[in-house]
Amino acid sequence: MVIFSLLLAALALLVALFYFFRYQKIKNQLSKLFVMEYAMNHAQNPLYFVDPKSAAIFYVNKAACKALGYTYEELTSRTIFDIDPNITKELWQEHNKNLKMAQTSDFFTQHKRKDGTLFEVEVFGNVFEYEGKFFNIAFAVDVTQKNHYQKALQESHDALTLRNQELEELAMLDALTKIPNRRFLDETYAKRFDEHRREDVSLALLMIDVDDFKTYNDFYGHAKGDEVLIQIAQTLQKTLKRPTDFIARYGGEEFVVVLKEISLSGVLTLAEQLIIAIKILQIPHEKSKRLPYITISIGISHKDATTLIDKKTLLENSDKALYQAKAKGKNCSVLYEKTLLQ
């Protein structure tokens, strides 16, 4: 009898231990499930569990309810078609077919709130299988703020680019006359010289100097002289009509005009037009040795694509021609020739 009682007690202990350990296992599993549900429910981005066949939503987290303005009960009684106006049944079937093949998906769409307003989202989808059934799980990230930030960033970048261009342009302008400066001349003249040889066209330079400008400054003052340089520079620039022609301040009261693809007769005609344009201004110059108003002298150099001189020599030739124009009495233009000043 005693032995039977001991056996019965031992059996009861074993049963108790079995259920204790099973309880502990279930408790641990439930604890893990609670942790997982807590983590999902407190995730920052909306989370959706969806039936791939019916598109019915059977689980959402708090972030999804907050994003769409529904309660949990309201949202889990709806389908994907209720919250995504871009998804049709055909698209949903195609999406799930592709999702099963790739296991993941990433796409942009729109979600509709309970109040009918739309917002842009990026959806990250996954598919998983449980007990022979497939389920979709998806995170939806609101990209409205992201797009706003990117737009603001792009606008800032564009503004900075524009400002840099403006600064670069300012660096290429003469501070006084607001026409291209010597730096611009050096860079652009080099380009034009290469172009005229590559394109097999002519190139011409006009070296321009304001006559008796030192005596003008001495008599009228440097401030008045600066005003005259501004007026002359702007007038000369306006006289140039072709978009490829440009003028730059060479230094002091000297200017250089670069002309590509122009005939010799065209160059001579333009030089005369520039001289006349300055005459028309009738800027008084009481100390001028020739006329009682401001005039200019021009030295011209011209070459076709086959003439074997470099860009430095061409510039020097226009300077020599300008010297000859001064020697001839100023207020005129002279074309450089091989015999000139030799």
Per-residue pLDDT of the chain (342 residues; tens, 9 = 90+): 555 555 555 555 454 444 444 545 544 544 444 445 565 666 778 888 888 888 888 888 888 899 899 999 999 899 989 989 998 888 888 887 777 776 777 888 889 999 999 988 888 888 877 667 777 888 888 887 666 656 666 766 666 667 666 566 667 889 899 999 999 999 999 999 999 999 999 999 999 999 999 999 999 999 999 999 999 999 999 999 998 899 999 999 999 999 999 999 999 999 999 999 999 999 999 988 889 999 999 999 999 888 889 999 999 999 999 999 999 999 999 999 854 443
Which of 135, 167, 199 is the C-terminal boundary of a domain?
167
Contacts of 294 (CB under 8 A, 6+ apart): 210, 211, 216, 228, 232, 278, 281, 283, 284, 285, 288
Pairing of strands 296-303, 203-210: antiparallel
Residue 297's identity, in one-letter code, is: S
26 is a domain residue:
no
Give the three-state DSSP class for 53. coil
Tell me, yes or no, if 253 is annotated catalytic.
yes
Q: Residue 226: what are its φ and ψ, rounded to 5°?
A: -60, -40
Q: Judge contact between 265 and 333, C-beta under 8 A.
A: no
Same domain, 223 and 134: no
Same domain (yes/no): 179, 328: yes
Residues 176 and 311 in one domain: yes
DSSP characters for 9-41? Answer: HHHHHHHHHHHHHHHHHHHHHHHHHHHHHHHHH
Q: Which of 195, 253, 286, 337 is catalytic?
A: 253
Rounded (10°) angle between helices 182-198 and 311-327 = 110
Residues 296 and 197 in one domain: yes
In-domain check, residue 22: no
Q: Same domain, yes or no, for 68 and 127?
A: yes
Place of tokens 């309810």: 65
pLDDT value of residue 50: 87
Does some domain include residue 2? no
- Quick check: 259 and 270 in contact, CB under 8 A? yes
Give pLDDT, residue 166.
58
Residues 44 and 147 in one domain: yes
User: Which amino acid does the sequence have at 273?
Assistant: Q
- Tell me, what CATH number does 212's domain have? 3.30.70.270
* Assigned domain for 132 exists: yes
Last residue of a domain, which of 115, 150, 167?
A: 167
Q: Which two tokens stand for residue 26?
A: 């279930």
Q: What is the DSSP string of 190-209?
A: HHHHHHHHHTT--EEEEEEE
Let me know how many helices (H) and strands (E) the chain has, helices first.
Answer: 11, 10
Q: CB neighbours (10 Å) of residue 91? A: 14
Rounded to whole angstroms, the Cα distance separating 279 from 255 reads 17
Domain count, the chain: 2
Closest of 181, 189, 299, 179 to residue 232, by C-alpha:
179
Round to whole Å and give the CA distance between 184 and 247: 10
Q: Which of 143, 167, 191 is the last residue of a domain?
A: 167
Let me know if residue 21 belongs to a domain: no
- For residues 160 and 182, membership in a common domain is answered with no
Q: pLDDT value at position 60?
A: 86
Token duo for residue 310: 């470099």
Domain, as residue range, for 260: 172-335
Which two structure tokens, joined as six digits, stand for 57?
């939503």
One domain, residues 178 and 250: yes
Contact by Cβ (8 Å): 38, 31: no
CB atoms within 10 A of CB 253: 21
The domain that contains 131 carries what CATH number? 3.30.450.20
**How far apart (Å, rounded) are the C-alpha atoms in residues 240 and 257?**
9
DSSP 141: E
State pTM to two decimals: 0.56
**Nearest-angstrom CA–CA distance, 278 and 273:** 9
Q: Residue 9 domain-assigned?
A: no
Domain annotation covers residue 10: no
Please give the pLDDT value at position 41: 64
Q: Are 297 and 330 in contact (CB under 8 A)?
A: yes
Residues 283 and 180 in one domain: yes
Dist. CA 59–CA 51, nearest whole Å: 10
Q: What is the pLDDT of residue 302?
A: 95
Same structural domain for residues 185 and 325? yes
Give the phi and the psi of residue 202 in degrees, each rounded to 5.
-80, 165
Is the domain of 162 the same as that of 178? no
Residues 161 and 185 in one domain: no
Q: Is residue 8 part of a domain?
A: no
